[in-house]
């Protein structure tokens, strides 16, 4: 009896030790230098500089000249968006862009919020920093960093920002928002050296937030922003108070995820699968393979030879628009492929879509943004962060038209402290831009839950 008890205590102690050891595991990283040449001697420049988006007559004349020289290609009959961006509709978009789109007005819209740049690890990092105009007495604004993905930009959050910094309900939390451009995207300088991946971006954004005076903050991300903010939580779990994401594909499927894929259709309750989970996860295998082939071609190009395709896009505004806007169609709703116009203006305005394209065009960042795929996928499933769980309080907004459906069970394999899992009413991959109110409400609810948990722990 005593021996059995002793063995049980030893085994229990070992399990607790291993769990605690894993819980204390953090992602390791080292400072880098991404500027040209060798890092200069002396102290790092910590200056924060105001920045404004600008445009010139010469810039617009060059754009219009290139658009006027485009060579239209007729679409196949009855092809809609199944072959990519429909050429007939593309001509209509180009015509609007050339004759009606007012870039100067959109520049003013971009500048409605304060922009800044600061040099970190040898490159200028651009960010939008919005402080609330009023904060209820006795409270403080909650710092929140929001990170975009590809082919998006900081502009994705423009509809979301006022809902967080100036909420209409006085009982809602008030946020102070920082929206950086990932280096190599938008107005952040591109790395000059190989190897700049999501962990490097996460490290730089931690330095940015500390430079702004934030010792603790919340983080939100979708697409690449999901991985960057996840890495931020893995690097400094005590600094990131809470992590909110709307994209969370399994980075390294374990035994439980594999079993759920194999057996989940027959025994859904065993894995906590809902009817929606079963509907999204189990189309026929042929359809699943075909969908993967149809929608992942861009990824293979960008993860292998981004500079080749990117160079053509960097020279042609029409080609760039087709490449980017096709994703805003298909990734918003797969069924939009069946429409002649790709359903683009069902969820977005052409002004907003073309503003995002213009951020890529005017900054000349398409090649460097595509390289981010090569730097990340080059490390494969053996990347250190793929093996490290996240213990920071996490909220997941599950939008129905996301590229990959992730059941709650799968999310919990990576995010061990899942505070909220919210099945959303509608929305796709660009949810912050498509459904800013739904996103704001979920961020509000998640943050309030985490704040209340922390208050209880202090009592």
On whether residue 394 sits in a domain, the answer given is: yes
On whether residue 42 sits in a domain, the answer given is: no
pLDDT band for 354, please (50, 70, 90 cuts): very high
On whether residue 15 sits in a domain, the answer given is: no
pLDDT band for 22, please (50, 70, 90 cuts): low
Active site residues: 223, 373, 429
For residues 345-373, average pLDDT = 98
Neighbours of 432 (CB within 10 A): 28
Q: In 100-157, where does DSSP find H-type helix?
A: 103-110
On whether residue 274 sits in a domain, the answer given is: yes
Q: Give me the DSSP letters along 214-251.
A: -SSEEEEE-THHHHHHHHHHHH-TTTEEEEEES----S
On whether residue 72 sits in a domain, the answer given is: yes
d(C-alpha 261, C-alpha 281), whole Å: 8
On whether residue 142 sits in a domain, the answer given is: yes
Positive or negative, the CA dihedral 375, 376, 380, 383 is: positive
Question: Tell me: the pLDDT tens digits for 42-60?
Answer: 888 999 999 999 999 999 9
Nearest Cα to Cα of residue 413 among 256, 193, 222: 256
Which H or E run contains 422? strand 418-423
pLDDT at 7: 38
Q: Which CATH number belongs to the domain containing residue 358 in this structure?
A: 3.40.50.1820
Which H or E run contains 116? strand 115-120
The proportion of the chain whose per-residue pLDDT surpasses 90, expressed as a percent, equals 79
Per the structure, the count of domains in the chain is 1
pLDDT at 251: 72
Predicted confidence (pLDDT) at residue 240 exceeds the cutoff of 70? yes
On whether residue 90 sits in a domain, the answer given is: yes
- Residue 193 contacts by C-beta under 8 Å, 6 or more apart in sequence? 32, 33, 34
Residue 397 sits in which domain range? 50-458
- Cβ contact 34:193 at 8 Å: yes
Predicted confidence (pLDDT) at residue 23 exceeds the cutoff of 80? no
pLDDT at 3: 47
Question: Mean of the per-residue pLDDT values for the chain?
Answer: 92
Q: Is 87 exposed, middle or buried (0-12, 13-18, 19+ CB in 10 A)?
A: middle
Q: Give me the DSSP letters along 158-185.
A: TTTHHHHHS-SSTTS--EEEEEEPPTTS
Nearest Cα to Cα of residue 210 among 148, 120, 116, 131: 120
- Cβ contact 316:324 at 8 Å: no
Q: Which residues pair with 48 in a beta bridge?
A: 118
For residues 73-78, average pLDDT = 95
On whether residue 13 sits in a domain, the answer given is: no
Mapped to the 3 state alphabet, what secondary structure does 286-324 carry? HHHHHHHHHHCHHHHHHHHCHHHHHHHHHHCHHHHHHHH
Q: Is 211 helix (H, G, I), strand (E, B) or coil?
A: helix
- Cβ contact 295:329 at 8 Å: no
Q: Which residues of 148-168 are buried (b: 16+ CB within 10 A; e: fewer)?
A: bbbbbbbbbbbbbbbbbbebe
For residues 71-84, average pLDDT = 95
pLDDT at 58: 98
pLDDT at 100: 98
């Amino acid at each position: 009896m005593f021996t059995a008890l002793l063995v049980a205590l030893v085994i229990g102690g070992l399990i607790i030790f291993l769990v605690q050891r894993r819980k204390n595991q953090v992602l390791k990283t080292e400072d880098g230098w991404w500027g040209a040449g060798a890092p200069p001697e002396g102290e790092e420049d910590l200056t924060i500089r105001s920045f404004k988006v600008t445009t010139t007559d010469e810039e617009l004349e060059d754009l219009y000249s290139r658009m006027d020289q485009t060579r239209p290609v007729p679409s196949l009959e009855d092809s809609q968006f199944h072959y990519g961006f429909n050429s007939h509709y593309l001509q209509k978009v180009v015509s609007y862009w050339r004759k009606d789109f007012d870039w100067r007005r959109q520049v003013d819209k971009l500048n409605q919020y304060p922009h800044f740049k600061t040099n970190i690890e040898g490159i200028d990092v651009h960010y939008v920093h919005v402080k609330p105009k009023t904060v209820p007495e006795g409270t403080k604004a909650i710092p929140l960093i929001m990170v975009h993905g590809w082919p998006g930009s900081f502009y994705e959050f423009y509809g979301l920002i006022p809902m967080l910094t100036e909420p209409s309900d006085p009982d809602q939390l008030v946020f102070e928002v920082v929206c950086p451009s990932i280096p190599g995207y938008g107005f952040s300088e591109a790395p000059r050296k190989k190897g700049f991946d999501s962990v490097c971006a996460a490290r730089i954004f931690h330095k940015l937030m500390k430079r702004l005076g934030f010792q603790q903050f919340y983080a939100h991300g979708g697409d690449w922003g999901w991985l960057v903010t996840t890495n931020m939580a893995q690097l400094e779990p005590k600094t990131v108070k809470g992590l909110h994401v709307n994209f969370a594909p399994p980075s390294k499927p374990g035994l439980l995820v594999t079993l759920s894929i194999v057996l989940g259709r027959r025994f859904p309750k065993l894995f906590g699968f809902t009817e929606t989970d079963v509907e999204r996860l189990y189309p026929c295998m042929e359809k699943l393979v075909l969908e993967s082939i149809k929608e992942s071609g861009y990824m293979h190009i960008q993860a292998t030879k981004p500079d080749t395709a990117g160079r053509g896009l960097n020279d042609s505004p029409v080609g760039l628009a087709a490449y980017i806007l096709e994703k805003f169609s298909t990734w918003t709703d797969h069924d939009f492929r069946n429409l002649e116009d790709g359903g683009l203006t069902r969820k977005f305005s052409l002004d907003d879509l073309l503003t995002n394209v213009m951020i890529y065009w005017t900054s000349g960042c398409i090649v460097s943004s595509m390289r981010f795929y090569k730097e990340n996928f080059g490390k494969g499933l053996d990347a250190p962060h793929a093996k490290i769980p996240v213990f920071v309080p996490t909220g997941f907004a599950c939008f129905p038209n996301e590229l990959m459906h992730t059941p709650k069970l799968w999310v919990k394999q990576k995010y061990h402290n899942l505070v909220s899992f919210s099945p959303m009413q509608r929305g796709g991959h660009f949810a912050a831009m498509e459904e800013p109110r739904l996103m704001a409400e979920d961020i509000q609810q998640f943050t309030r839950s985490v704040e209340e948990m922390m208050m209880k722990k202090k009592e």
